[in-house]
Structure 1
Amino acid sequence: MKIADVRTIVVGNPWKNWIYVVVETDEGLVGIGEATGGSETQPTVAAIEEVKHLVIGMDPRNVHEIFHKLYLTAFIKVTKAISGIEMACWDILGKSLGVPVHTLLGGKVRDNVRVYANGWYSGERTPEGFAEKASEVVAKGYTALKFDPFGDAHMQMSRKETAEAKALIGAVRDAVGDDVDILIEAHDRFSTYAAIEIGNWLKDYDVTWFETPVLSTDISALVEVARRIPVRMIAGERMHAIHEFGEFLSHNVTDVINPEPLGVGGIWRSLQIAGIAEAHHAEIALHNAESPFKTMVALHIDAVTPNVFIQECFDDFLEPWVSDVLTGFHRVEDGYLKMPTEPGIGVTLNEEEAKKHPYGKSNFLRMFRPGWEKRDTAKQE
């Protein structure tokens, strides 16, 4: 079996263009991967086009050989283009043998994984609005939810902005009760001093974690914040190299990291990072802010990883047409996702339906513009 072609399909989700990698073989088997990258849509599509000649003619079942060749070509770094091709090759290998990818990875250690909801708060940025939305999430069966209450703040927060953020968090806590985990996202936005100040008052709301309060590639800043706040701090979604995770975890300042499979090189590299976490008595909570296809990829990783804390999922809060473009992905039931059972990744991409939702230059979040959390990109020009 040989790779005959590598194509990309862009689906214009309103707040993030989804990039799918289609790997075709000379025997008719087709694999799907994802390479979504926020506002980096066109560069990623171009990167895939530029490297695909390197893998055409190779056996897609030799996943590690293909990854290593692309990794060295990129001067010993990982890219979303590499991740997308790697995932598609795992998909082909699973389909060729008639088994789920997690079976190829040694078999599952769990039948399901607890999920936290994200993307649910796309409404008015008021305590009442957030409380209402949070109550709806819990009514769906979720036992954990994450949100960014900090508006368009950057580096510092004024007293007024601090009061607004506290009001939002307090309203959500009151709405969901004491038994639901609240995870606070900061999107790398604060200075070290501001992050420490915020992390200390977050203790009052019994939050489960404070995520990436400072630039998450600045290990020293992460460590400084983590050591000086009374709540768990996590990071990892913007780290790319294996050694970055090892360096961060070596300081023993957290017991959870959230690597992004697309950012670290795909499925196998995610498993290697999970192993590094386990060596430091830490768990993983895979970052997952892309399409339902990527959720299924995360499930294959979670299936074989003993040290999983929880799994992020946006899928209940996406556009209704998503189920026309993608079929086979799992839905959250009572706050959990079941492990895949179909061969390969287990998701089918309908290319005709995908054409109905083309690339859009405004399909990304401008995180430091007022109202970004509404995900109304038309108003963020």
Structure 2
Amino acid sequence: MKIIDAKTFVVGNPWKNWVFVKLYTDEGITGVGEATGGLQTKPNEASVHELKPLYIGKDPRNVHEIMDSMRKGLFLGYSTAMSGIEQACWDILGKSLGVPVWRLLGGKMRPRIRAYANGWYRGPRDPAFFAEAALRTVEMGYTALKFDPFGNAYRFMERDEERLSLNIVRAVREAVGESVDLLIEAHDRFSVSTAVKLGHALAEFNPMWFETPVMSTDVEATIAVASQVPIPVASGERFDSLAQFSRLLGSKVVSIAQPEVLKIGGISGMVKAAAIAESHESFIAPHNAQSPLCTVINTHVGAAVPNLLIQECFDDTNAEWSRRIMTGTVQVKDGYIEIPDDPGLGVDLNEEEMSKYPYGDQNFLRLFEAGWEKRREIKG
């Protein structure tokens, strides 16, 4: 079997243009993957095609060999495009053997995966709104909610802004009660001193974790915060090397790693990151702010690794048309993701439906601009 062609498809999701990859083989089996970038679309799409000399003509079932070829071709680096291609190769391998990808990774460690909701607070930065939105999301069955209450803060916070942020968290906690986990997102916003101050203030609300309170690529800063606050710190979504996870978790003060499948080297990289975390008696809680396809990909990995804590999910809070652009998406029931059994990843792209939502040059989440939380929606 050989890869004979690759196509890309861009779908204009309101807050992040999604990039999909489809590989074609000479035996008629196709595979899909995702190469979405947070604030870049066209460079990622172009990279999929520019990398063709490194994977066209190769057997897609030799996933590691193709990934190694691309990594060396990029002078020992990973890219989002590489991850999308790698995922599509796993999809083809699973289909060729008639088994789901999780089976190829060693089989199920668990019958279902706990999920937390994100993207549910699309609207004004107001405690009452957050409380109402949180209740609606809990009514959907979720038992864990992640949100960023900090507006467009950068490094420091004015007193009134800090008070509003804490009041938002307080309103959510009072609305949903103590049985729902709150995950507080900080989007790399703060200096060490500000993060430490906020970490102590947030302890009142017993959050499951305080996520990326400082620049997450600054491992030393993250360790400094985690060693001084009374709540767990989670980080790692921006890591693009396994060594970064070793440094972070080796500190023994951070025990929740958040690898992003599109940055850490695809499915193979996620499994390796989980192994590193396991060696430090730590958990992974994969970052997943992409399309429903990426949720499926994370589900296959999460089904197989022993140290999964919880999985991020936007599927029920994305634009209502997002499930129509593909088949085989996973479902969240009573706060848990059901693990799919179809061969490969189990997802097919609906190209006709995708064409209704073209690329948009405003489809980006500008986290340091006022009102970013509103995430405008495209009607289908």
TM-score normalised by structure 2 residue count: 0.98
Correspondence 1:138-153 to 2 at 5 A: 138-153=138-153
**Residue number in structure 2 paired with 1:309:** 309
**Residue number in structure 1 paired with 2:334:** 334
Q: Percent identity?
A: 52
**Residue number in structure 2 paired with 1:216:** 216
**Residue number in structure 1 paired with 2:275:** 275
Deviations 1:282-337 (A, max 9, x none): 00000000000000000000011111111100000111211221111111100000
Richer in helix (by share): 1
Report SS of the residue matched to 2:337.
Answer: strand
CA contact (8 A) 2:319 2:377 kept: no
Report SS of the residue matched to 2:53.
Answer: helix
CA contact (8 A) 1:239 1:264 kept: yes
Deviation at 1:377? 7.7
- Cα distance in 1 for partners of 2:356, 2:138 equals 33
CA contact (8 A) 1:255 1:281 kept: yes
Correspondence 1:12-51 to 2 at 5 A: 12-51=12-51
One-letter amino acid of the structure 2 residue matched with residue 44 of structure 1: N
**Residue number in structure 2 paired with 1:89:** 89
CA contact (8 A) 2:121 2:134 kept: yes
- Cα distance in 2 for partners of 1:273, 1:161 equals 36
Deviation at 1:376? 2.2
**Residue number in structure 2 paired with 1:299:** 299
**Residue number in structure 1 paired with 2:134:** 134
Report SS of the residue matched to 1:61.
Answer: coil
The gaps in structure 2 that reach 5 residues or longer are none
CA contact (8 A) 2:286 2:312 kept: yes
Deviations 1:150-196 (A, max 9, x none): 00110100000011001100000000001110000000011111111
One-letter amino acid of the structure 1 residue matched with residue 269 of structure 2: R
- Cα distance in 1 for partners of 2:83, 2:157 equals 36
Moved over 2 A (4+): none
**Residue number in structure 1 paired with 2:185:** 185
Report SS of the residue matched to 1:132.
Answer: helix
**Residue number in structure 2 paired with 1:116:** 116
One-letter amino acid of the structure 2 residue matched with residue 321 of structure 1: W
**Residue number in structure 2 paired with 1:103:** 103
One-letter amino acid of the structure 1 residue matched with residue 148 of structure 2: D
**Residue number in structure 1 paired with 2:80:** 80
Report SS of the residue matched to 1:184.
Answer: strand
CA contact (8 A) 1:365 1:377 kept: no
The gaps in structure 1 that reach 5 residues or longer are none
One-letter amino acid of the structure 1 residue matched with residue 33 of structure 2: G
One-letter amino acid of the structure 2 residue matched with residue 338 of structure 1: E
- Cα distance in 1 for partners of 2:170, 2:289 equals 25
- Cα distance in 1 for partners of 2:211, 2:54 equals 38
Q: How many residues align?
A: 378
**Residue number in structure 2 paired with 1:261:** 261
One-letter amino acid of the structure 1 residue matched with residue 106 of structure 2: G
Alignment RMSD (CA, Å): 0.9
Deviations 1:97-141 (A, max 9, x none): 111001111111111011100000001211110000000111111
CA contact (8 A) 2:292 2:323 kept: no
One-letter amino acid of the structure 1 residue matched with residue 330 of structure 2: H
- Cα distance in 1 for partners of 2:345, 2:173 equals 36
- Cα distance in 1 for partners of 2:229, 2:373 equals 26
Deviation at 1:53? 2.2
Correspondence 1:192-231 to 2 at 5 A: 192-231=192-231
**Residue number in structure 1 paired with 2:67:** 67
TM-score normalised by structure 1 residue count: 0.98
**Residue number in structure 1 paired with 2:359:** 359
